[in-house]
C-alpha cells in the first residue's frame, strides 16, 4: 500500500521545523546572570585592592541577602608556577574555626548537656593534671568561650614550637597541648581580664567530648558540616590536605622557620595540633555561607543567638571590639555592627563578617601571613566589598 503524498509533505515539514535553529535549544543557552553587574564591580574592587597589597593571591566569598553566593579571586595561588587564584581554592581558616566549635557548644547547651556558668572542674576535675592549670578551680565554660579565663596561648610558647618542629608529624592529645601551661601563673584572676587564647578552646573541646560522648570532629561533621551542606569545608587534621593552595609565612616564621608552606603538597608539620583552636580549611564562599547561616540562627536553636553575640570588652583587639561566645563583635561605620572572626595560620590569613543591617556575609582569605599589615588588609577587603554590595555595585 502506497503512503499518500500529503503524508510525506507533512512529515517533511515537521522534520524541517524540528531541525530549524529557531526550534532547537542549545545546551550553552543559559538565563542572564541577574548579579552580573554586581559581580563585575566586586571583581574590579578585589583586583584593585590586591594590586595595593603584599600577598600573592586572594579569594573572597559574598553571600547576598537572598542567599545567593558569589565567589571571586585575584592574584596567584603559587608564586613559582604563577597559577591564577580561583574562587574554589582552599585555604586555612585558622582561628575562625572557633565559630564552629561555639556552634556545637550551643547545640549541646540547648540539649541540657552543660550550663555556661558551670565550673570546668565539674567535667575535668578528676584528671590528674587538672590542678596544675592556672586558675583551674575558678574557670567557667563561659570564661573559656569569651577568653576571660586567664589561660594564655600554648602555641606561641617557645617550648611548644621547639617540640612541634622536633617531631613535626606527631599527633597531639589535648592534654599534651595544655601541659605547656602547667604550674604557670595566670596574668589575671578568672573572669577579671581578657586575653585571646587557643588554650581556652582546647579545654572547651575536651569538655564537649565528655558531655557528647563522642569525638569533637565527629560531632562537628554530624551537627554542622553535613546538615548545612558545607561541602567545601574540611578538617585540617593531617599534613596532606588535598586542594590546599600554597601559603607563604615569611623567613621569620616561628613555626619551623619555613616560608613556603607546601613542599610536594605536604605541610612542614601536622596541623592537627590546632584542633578546636581552629582546625579547618575551606573556600571563602563556603565560609561566607557559614557566617550567614550561623548569625541568622540556622546552626543551633535561634533562641540562643542573642546569648552568642552578647560580648565582653576585648581591649587588645580594639577599643570598640567585643568578644562573645566565639564571635568578634565590631562596628563597621555606616555598615553597622558586624559579627565574625579572624584567623592567622602560618602562610594564610582569613577574615569573615556578617552584616545584620544588610543581611550579607563576606569572607576573605589570602595566602600570606608574612607582611605585618596583612591582618588589617583582610579586614579592609571585607568591609570594602560589603560597601560595594550595599551600594548595589555602583
Mean per-residue pLDDT over the chain, rounded:
93
pLDDT band at 371 (very low <50, low <70, confident <90, very high): confident
> pLDDT for 224-272, tens place per residue?
999 999 999 999 999 999 999 999 999 889 999 999 999 999 999 999 9
| Among candidate residues 369, 353, 370, the one with its CA nearest the CA of residue 60 | 353
Q: What are the helix (H) ranges across 255-373?
A: 284-295, 305-308
Q: Which helix (H) or strand (E) holds 92?
A: strand 91-92
Instruction: Give the distance, in angstroms, between the CA of residue 229 and the centroid of all CA atoms in the same chain.
Output: 15
pLDDT band at 17 (very low <50, low <70, confident <90, very high): very low
Q: How far apart are the first and last CA of the chain?
A: 72
Torsion 369-373-375-381 (CA) sign: negative
Q: Sheet of 312-313: strands edge to edge?
A: 83-84, 69-78, 57-63, 360-366, 348-355, 337-345, 328-331, 322-323, 312-313
Does the pLDDT at position 25 exceed 50?
Answer: no
Task: Parse the chain into domains and list their residue ranges.
Answer: 36-390
> pLDDT for 178-192, tens place per residue?
999 999 999 999 999
State which CATH number among 3.90.550.10, 3.40.50.720, 3.40.710.10, 1.20.140.10 fits the domain covering 36-390: 3.40.710.10
Q: 300 near 103, Cβ under 8 Å? A: yes
For residue 55, report the phi and psi dihedrals to the nearest 5 degrees: -150, 150
The residues with which 338 forms a beta bridge, in sequence order, are 330
Q: Which helix (H) or strand (E) holds 201?
A: helix 198-212
Amino acid at each position: 500500500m502506497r503512503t499518500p503524498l500529503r503524508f510525506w509533505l507533512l512529515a517533511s515539514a515537521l522534520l524541517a521545523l524540528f531541525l530549524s535553529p529557531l526550534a532547537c535549544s542549545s545546551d550553552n543557552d543559559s538565563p542572564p546572570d541577574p548579579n552580573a553587574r554586581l559581580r563585575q564591580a566586586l571583581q574590579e574592587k578585589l583586583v584593585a585592592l590586591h594590586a595595593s597589597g603584599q600577598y600573592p593571591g586572594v579569594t573572597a566569598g559574598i553571600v547576598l541577602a537572598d542567599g545567593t553566593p558569589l565567589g571571586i579571586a585575584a592574584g596567584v595561588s603559587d608564586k613559582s608556577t604563577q597559577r591564577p587564584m580561583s574562587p574554589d581554592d582552599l585555604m586555612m581558616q585558622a582561628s575562625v574555626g572557633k565559630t564552629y566549635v561555639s556552634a556545637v557548644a550551643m547545640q549541646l547547651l540547648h540539649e541540657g548537656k552543660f550550663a555556661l556558668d558551670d565550673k570546668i572542674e565539674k567535667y575535668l576535675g578528676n584528671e590528674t593534671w587538672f590542678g596544675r592549670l592556672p586558675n583551674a578551680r575558678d574557670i567557667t565554660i563561659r570564661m573559656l568561650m569569651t577568653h576571660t579565663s586567664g589561660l594564655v596561648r600554648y602555641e606561641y610558647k617557645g617550648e611548644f614550637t621547639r617540640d612541634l618542629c622536633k617531631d613535626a608529624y606527631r599527633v597531639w592529645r589535648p592534654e599534651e597541648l595544655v601541659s605547656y601551661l602547667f604550674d604557670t601563673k595566670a596574668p589575671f584572676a578568672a573572669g577579671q581580664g581578657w586575653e585571646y587564647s587557643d588554650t581556652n578552646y582546647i579545654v572547651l573541646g575536651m569538655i564537649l567530648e565528655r558531655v557528647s560522648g563522642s569525638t569533637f570532629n565527629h560531632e562537628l561533621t554530624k551537627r554542622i558540616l553535613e546538615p548545612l551542606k558545607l561541602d567545601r569545608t574540611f578538617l585540617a587534621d593531617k599534613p596532606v590536605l588535598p586542594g590546599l593552595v600554597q601559603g607563604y609565612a615569611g623567613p621569620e616564621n616561628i613555626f619551623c622557620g619555613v616560608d613556603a608552606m607546601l613542599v610536594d603538597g605536604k605541610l612542614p608539620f601536622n596541623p592537627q595540633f590546632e584542633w578546636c583552636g581552629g582546625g579547618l580549611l575551606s573556600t571563602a564562599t563556603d565560609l561566607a555561607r557559614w557566617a550567614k547561616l550561623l548569625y541568622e540562627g540556622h546552626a543551633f536553636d535561634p533562641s540562643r543567638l542573642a546569648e552568642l553575640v552578647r560580648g565582653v570588652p576585648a581591649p587588645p583587639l580594639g577599643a570598640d571590639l567585643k568578644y562573645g561566645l566565639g564571635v568578634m563583635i565590631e562596628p563597621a561605620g555606616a555598615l553597622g555592627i558586624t559579627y565574625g572572626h579572624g584567623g592567622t595560620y602560618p602562610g594564610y590569613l582569613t577574615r569573615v563578617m556578617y552584616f545584620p543591617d544588610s543581611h550579607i556575609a563576606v569572607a576573605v582569605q589570602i595566602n600570606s601571613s608574612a607582611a605585618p599589615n596583612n591582618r588589617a588588609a583582610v579586614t579592609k577587603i571585607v568591609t570594602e566589598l560589603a560597601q560595594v554590595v550595599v551600594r548595589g555595585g555602583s
